[in-house]
Structure 1
């Protein structure tokens, strides 16, 4: 989606849209340009207030009285209320929800503008700030703008708020809650059709919080848009000349930015007419000449692919149509999940569910919570959203225990199924925190050990079992907790159990969200089911053997883990392509896996096959992958002529980190397979 920024009436823009987890910039337009931001600067006042709360200088329960001199018209409702005193919490809520000017002036007097200025500078912002209280008319000698800033710094601030940097978890929740009650949804948020202040949760497919600023010459909007798997921060600032009115084109452009964010998040636009109009506006490339082998070969030789390993097969016959180092073992990234998923379906079976059990302990009132490797088990109350689909819930298990046992005095936490194999040394420890894309792989953990059970990439702990124990004990009234010893044997009666979604749904999830924790757990369960243990040596041995049972040549493979995170994994493009081809032909577990691949135009992540590559429509079904050494993609593609091809493409570099342009080159090549693949026959 291309956005043109209107410049009528000398309209200036500063815009940045960035994926908070990958760091990918989705849109950028003069992000360092400093503009008036109207009420946006109030965010620094709220952040400073909560920092003082964290430092024990203030309490949000503190009540303050307004002064007549602080009353100002414009945004807000306190000027309409009879109540002269409010708590600091209520002042923050009014500012977050309706940008209340009266509340802002009162809070600025309590906190102090100088303190806010020093705080903003300490956060590292040179150009974004709150300059003054709200005054009208502005007296001579006072700052021209209430606040100012640029998109680069304000996106950084949004990311800081979402991650909770610089504030306690409690204060971070309060601040996001204030912003999540924001009533002004006229700008970027207008496309999501949210309900007034009631959008501080998932609604219409997204979770949205923001802060806006409006003047007769300014429209500014900063915030966060999230799905369960992705988070996008944005800042969109527009300022035009006094005496002119650019609101119409500016608000239209703000809405376009919202639609771009929605596309990047894979959000399904619920308005059928708007969706149809947008689809119709995308130019559909139709071949103007016969399929070209030269164009296809040029795409395969693109320097952005670095050191590519490529194999393209005829899906029906298996005939090799295009190959570049097709038998050279390569790092896989998350394309490894196709092998892990197929192995899980083959060994465990599509209907298998992973149990979490409670056994009677050795003494009255003692129970044993036995982890079965279900990392999707959730601490979230039943019925509320979590990251994983249809998880089992701790509160269900606790209710069953209370029915059978009554008072519980001790809980023994048995996580030994995966003992000693919870972390591979080749994984980056920053993946646990702050980046949050992989936890310790414990047999007893909840929500993949996420701090935030809804978000994909969320910091993980060093003690996932402790998190389970804390939440389970709270549901049972606070019994004593202890970990099972290595030599203990529990033979007590099974008192309760809950079970995960079936394996076929779990495999769909690892192909959809590329969840690393679930992939690793499935790999370990496959190894155990085949007679091994949960060690990585066993995972290597048993996943390799399972792949061989599926008819794949794995003689050159080095399968280190189940997720593809390790840079030490090595699998050839031929092995991956043959797995996909067997699935396409309907062979057993590979067929079940291939049926669950994500498809362009619907289920595949929206940052793939964008721009001109949208021409593929729904012709591609594939698994994506990325680690430092490779951008990978493997699946099927339908040519313009209606033929199905199987492909495995690895844009690889074992010396330097691959860049986003390598990913784009991978998409470009597969698009060429769609447009020119008939020339291979």
Structure 2
């Protein structure tokens, strides 16, 4: 019988905060709706690629409404190409259909695919959607960029862990716009390959974890930037289900600083597994 305490994770997060990191966390029980762990969950912090999730929501809405063609071809803009990361920049195909870009953005956090989706649905539409979803303190601020100049927003996105945990809770409860939109976005997110932070404790296959042999339900999205690690998701097991979000902003002065932040995510993952199992 697993324990139902987050004392280990809380201690690790407190130690991170004492070392100078900014830490925000929110965990809620899916069955009761009660918050079981929280800390500074109202504070907007940089979340990097986690901001792709509301862009995916608006993409699903536009596809469902017929405003976007799922097979409509989108050209990769070489002039604005993000060269530092992603899969699309390494593919020979300079253009891909909209639906494939959604998969790339969700599964691989591809910045060029995410930028193309944001351009297709519109920045203002994403902002309005986030407000309608109860996320007034979170925002997608800009495109992904290799370098940020003085005229660019300082971050691609900011968000609170409370709002992102609520968003993931709503996704699995079919309450993000409607059941169809929720299912589509959850399906995209279930393809995410980054299981190296909180999800490291699940033991799931990063490349095939939609139908776990042990009945584990899991979807997540991560965000990474210099000195930023963020993750939100849903984990459900035989005992309970939780929606969670954790953001850590730290001085990335050395590998040890980075690993200390990563360890806190993995410790939270272990506590989540014990809570749900």
Using structure 1 for the length normalisation, give the TM-score.
0.38
User: SS at 1:201's partner residue?
Assistant: coil
Cα offset, 1:88, TM superposition:
1.3
User: Corresponding residue for 1:119?
Assistant: 129
CA shift at 1:69, angstroms? Answer: 2.2
What CA deviation, in whole Å up to 9, does each residue of 1:483-527 have, x standing for no partner?
xxxxxxxxxxxxxxxxxxxxxxxxxxxxxxxxxxxxxxxxxxxxx
**Residue in 1 aligned with 2:175?**
165
Contact 1:180 1:197 in 2 (8 A): no
Superposition pairs for residues 244-259 of structure 1, below 5 Å? 246-259=257-270
3-state secondary structure, aligned to 2:82: coil
Structural mapping, 1:397-436, within 5 Å: none
Q: Separation in 2 of the partners of 1:15 and 1:244?
A: 24
Q: What secondary structure sits across from 1:220 in the alignment?
A: strand
Equivalents in 2 of 1:232, 1:193: separation in Å? 17
The equivalent residue for 2:3 is none
Aligned counterparts, 1:145-294, within 5 A: 145-228=155-238, 230-241=240-251, 243=253, 246-266=257-277
More helix by share: 2
Aligned-partner Cα distance in 2 for 1:225–1:174: 18
Q: Do the aligned partners of residues 19 and 75 (structure 1) sit closer, same or farther apart at CA in structure 2, a change above 3 Å counting?
A: farther
Deviation at 1:136, TM superposition (A): 2.3
Residue 59 of structure 1: aligned partner:
69
Larger RCO (alpha carbons 8 Å, 6+ apart): 2
Measured in 2, the distance between the counterparts of 1:99 and 1:183 equals 9
Q: Does structure 1 residue 32 correspond to structure 2 residue 32? A: no
For 1:77 and 1:250, locate their aligned partners in 2 and report how far apart those are by CA, in whole Å.
26
Distance 1:9 1:135, change over 3 A: farther
Report the alpha carbon displacement of residue 70 of structure 1 after superposing the two structures with TM.
3.2
Calculate the aligned-residue CA RMSD, in Å.
1.8
**How many residues align structurally?**
266
Does the CA contact (< 8 Å) of 2:161 and 2:245 recur in 1?
yes
Distance (Å, rounded) in 2 between the aligned partners of 1:143 and 1:187:
26
Q: Tell me by how many angstroms 1:205 deviates.
A: 4.4
Deviation at 1:243, TM superposition (A): 4.2
Match of 1:138 in 2: 148
Q: Distance in 2 between matches of 1:197 and 1:162?
A: 21
- Structure 1 pair 77/253, CA: closer, same or farther in 2 (3 Å)? same
Deviation at 1:174, TM superposition (A): 2.1
Cross-structure match for 1:274: none
- Larger Rg, first or second structure (1 or 2): 1
SS in 2 for 1:236: strand
After TM superposition, the score normalised by the length of structure 2 is 0.90
User: For 2:48 and 2:182, how far apart are their aligned partners in 1?
Assistant: 23
Counterpart of 1:104?
114
> CA separation in 2, counterparts of 1:170 and 1:140?
41
Deviation at 1:168, TM superposition (A): 4.1
